[in-house]
Structure 1
């Protein structure tokens, strides 16, 4: 196997064994003895510190991206739940002859009242200016799937953020 000088692979003379978390974020290995590490290194102290700093910057970039993804999911999940609640309500009223009274949002502060007949289909915005018509059950199934996916993704993002915090702490310690 090749030899590596990178801070992620464990040291200057170690075989390349890239440990990662389940989603492929590389693990930073702690250097117990900096003096020994530098003795085995074929690069200068400045180059080694530069590599450590570069790795910290990469971890911080990943952290920023994951923070943004987390914020998006934290907005998306309640929207999906709200839509699923409406679909479940429509399913409960399916086949009823009574018109349903509802208020729908026109703007952040503007709502309109309406009466509607029982329906068997709904239109869902899928994103990118795409709207499709689904039966109530299809819409419910789709939204439940989207909700499960979003919740799983959020769980993974939170795990990745925690993992990255540990890696950044390790690398910043080595850089100082």
Structure 2
């Protein structure tokens, strides 16, 4: 049984491909001794796939939150940089220039509370970025853009990989569910035939 479930193929992340059982009788040479052990091995592999699927779905959910957040941050910084560039090219007097380079925006205080802020674009040369694990660092605008673009690229690559893994796991879960059902149904039919054979033998003895 160990040889049967030993992966002959894996996907690029090392997830094993499930074997497909065409004929149950080919793997159960001694059904009375091997059935329970074989069924348990199949069920264990199925649960392993489902556990990996759950983990991948959690990763997918996290990435679907992270990617829009990064894209939104890039949009904000790009808008700031555009306004700074526009301010440098503006020929209006200082008061008008100052007014044109102030951005009014809403920002989140907590999950349900927002407030308004005024940002002087001319004096804004850096931003603070959350790096995770309650760590925040200040970055110049250009460095922040570079960092966010790298993170966006990496997260999009991770999203592609997670989707591929989920599709692979879905196929192998289906294969193992089919294997388990075939194994169970085969054993039910085997026991039924044995019972019928025993009853037939018993009836013949009674008739004699």
Q: CA deviation at 1:38?
A: 1.8
Mapping for residues 161-172 of structure 1, pairs under 5 Å? 161-172=166-177
Q: CA deviation at 1:130?
A: 0.6
Which structure carries more relative contact order (alpha carbon 8 Å, separation 6+)? Answer: 2
Segments of structure 2 that go 5 or more residues without pairing to the other structure are: 88-97, 182-208
Instruction: Identify the match of residue 116 of structure 1 among 114, 119, 125.
Output: 119
Q: CA RMSD in A?
A: 1.9
Q: CA deviation at 1:113?
A: 1.9
In 2, Cα distance between the equivalents of 1:114 and 1:55?
55
Segments of structure 1 that go 5 or more residues without pairing to the other structure are: 10-16
In structure 2, relative to structure 1, the CA distance for the partners of 1:91 and 1:7 (3 Å cut) is: farther
Q: CA deviation at 1:6?
A: 4.3
Q: In structure 1, what is the equivalent of residue 40 of structure 2?
A: 50
Check the 8 A contact 1:7/1:28 in 2, yes or no.
no
Q: CA deviation at 1:94?
A: 2.4
Q: In structure 2, what is the equivalent of residue 153 of structure 1?
A: 158
Q: CA deviation at 1:18?
A: 3.2
TM-score (norm 2): 0.73
In 2, Cα distance between the equivalents of 1:37 and 1:129?
54
Aligned length: 165
> Which 4+ residue blocks in structure 1 deviate beyond 4 angstroms?
none
Query: Alignment partner of 2:29: what SS?
Result: helix
In structure 2, relative to structure 1, the CA distance for the partners of 1:40 and 1:158 (3 Å cut) is: farther
TM-score (norm 1): 0.86
